[in-house]
Amino acid sequence: MKKDIIIPKVDGVEMAVVYEYNAIYKTDDWNVYIINNKAVDLEMLVIVSQGFSDTKTTSLLRKKLDKLPANSFAKIELIQPELFKLNNRFQVTFFEGNTLYEKTFIFKENTIKESALRMIDEIKKRGILAR
């Protein structure tokens, strides 16, 4: 029976942690984005995030998006710098047409830092990608 289960590979979807200025609070914040580089819309997205290490685990955060249009991006959540010392996992599930896709993105501990920032063309801001 297991051989009959087809798990499609996810391409064209990325997660990014972006360092950007918040004009309302006049602070520099770290925000998590999902990027859809596909030529089709993604529907019913569910993103589950959690920080973890050998000794610590954060609570789960869930975010749902009804639709992420083709070649677009969406801000998912603010991430606190205290979490950068943990591995940060983002499990993304979505429908493309009638097919369900799932992919896990991980930002490894201590990899989210200002010295690792680079320009993310899709968002036009500096950040770090997890593919």
Segment 50-65 mean pLDDT: 97
Closest C-alpha to 32, from 93, 4, 73: 73
| Residues 13-103+111-129, CATH architecture | Sandwich (2.60)
pLDDT one-digit tens code per residue, 75-86: 999 999 999 999
- Cβ 31 vs Cβ 18: under 8 Å: yes
What confidence score (pLDDT) does residue 6 get?
A: 78
- Is 120's pLDDT higher than 90? yes
- Cβ 74 vs Cβ 54: under 8 Å: no
- Cβ 101 vs Cβ 90: under 8 Å: no
Contacts of 119 (CB under 8 A, 6+ apart): 125, 126
Annotated domain spans of the chain: 13-103+111-129
Segment 16-21 mean pLDDT: 97
Predicted model pTM: 0.93
* Mean of pLDDT over the chain: 95
**How many C-beta atoms lie closer than 10 Å to residue 50's C-beta?**
17
Segment 75-100 mean pLDDT: 96
